[in-house]
């Protein structure tokens, strides 16, 4: 009987230590996912700029991660600067972005630029090439015809038309034919 009492006195602290270690381990492992979930819903710790908003990639090497810190794995890498992306959330210095295919991930803020770029979007109702005009009026001379997927710089938008420039083209395009600007958005 005396041996059993001594054994209980030795085992009890050991069991408490094992349980404590298990709880601490679970807390450490759960921390990144808790931070990510909180970050996805917490807009208060970012830049203070409107969310959502369009920006472009600044660098030719942008790591996109599964969450808003370097502890998360790199899910993929963008290798072309100037691509338009939409910021859908902010957490401290991290931005959750969405590309034109709808894919989302987190990038560090310094890899993004306020320079506005856009893709010529595929039309749901019209097929083929998209017209680029001399002015914000379809009755003005045609400057070029662009294929969906062409990337360019957005110089300004009046809510219906955008001045859109790129390699070998400069003119006005109907705003709803671009991915990288919002409907009725005005850009000066």
Q: Please report, for the domain that includes residue 182, its CATH number.
A: 2.30.30.40
Q: Which of 87, 115, 143 is the last residue of a domain?
A: 115
Q: Which pLDDT value is given to residue 10?
A: 53
Cα dihedral: 66, 68, 72, 78 (round 10): 60
Give the contacts of 158 (CB within 8 A, at least 6 positions apart).
136, 186
Q: Which pLDDT value is given to residue 110?
A: 97
Q: Where does the pLDDT of residue 85 fall: very low under 50, low under 70, confident under 90, or very high at 90 and above?
A: very high
- Domain boundaries, position 142: 118-187
Element counts in the chain: helices (H) and strands (E) = 1, 15
Q: Please provide the DSSP assignment of 90-142 as one string.
A: EETTEEEEE-TT--EEEEEGGGEES--EEEEPPPSS--S-EEEESSSSTTSPE
Q: What token pair was written down for 133?
A: 């005009």
Instruction: Kindly tell me if the per-residue pLDDT of 14 is higher than 80.
Output: no
Instruction: Kindly tell me if the per-residue pLDDT of 151 is higher than 70.
Output: yes
13 with 91, same domain?
A: yes
The domain tally of the chain equals 2
81 with 64, same domain?
A: yes
How many whole angstroms separate alpha carbon 25 and alpha carbon 110?
33
132 with 109, same domain?
A: no
**What CA–CA distances, in Å, run from 46 to 21, 89, 153?**
35, 8, 26
28 with 110, same domain?
A: yes
């Amino acid at each position: 009987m005396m041996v059993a009492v001594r054994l209980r006195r030795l085992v009890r602290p050991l069991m408490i230590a094992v349980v404590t270690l298990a709880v601490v381990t679970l807390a450490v492992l759960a921390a990144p996912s808790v931070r990510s979930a909180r970050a996805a819903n917490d807009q208060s710790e970012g830049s203070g700029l409107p969310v959502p908003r369009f920006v472009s990639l600044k660098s030719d090497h942008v790591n996109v991660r599964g969450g808003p810190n370097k502890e998360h794995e790199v899910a993929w890498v963008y290798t072309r600067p100037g691509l338009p992306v939409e910021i859908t959330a902010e957490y401290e210095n991290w931005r959750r972005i969405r590309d034109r295919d709808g894919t989302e991930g987190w990038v560090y803020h310094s890899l993004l630029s306020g320079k506005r770029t856009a893709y010529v979007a595929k039309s749901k109702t019209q097929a083929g090439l998209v017209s680029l005009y001399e002015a914000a009026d379809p009755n003005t001379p045609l400057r070029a015809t662009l294929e969906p997927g062409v990337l360019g710089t957005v110089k300004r938008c009046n809510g219906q038309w955008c001045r859109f420039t790129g390699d070998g083209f400069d003119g006005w395009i109907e705003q709803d034919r671009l991915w990288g600007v919002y409907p009725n958005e005005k850009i000066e």
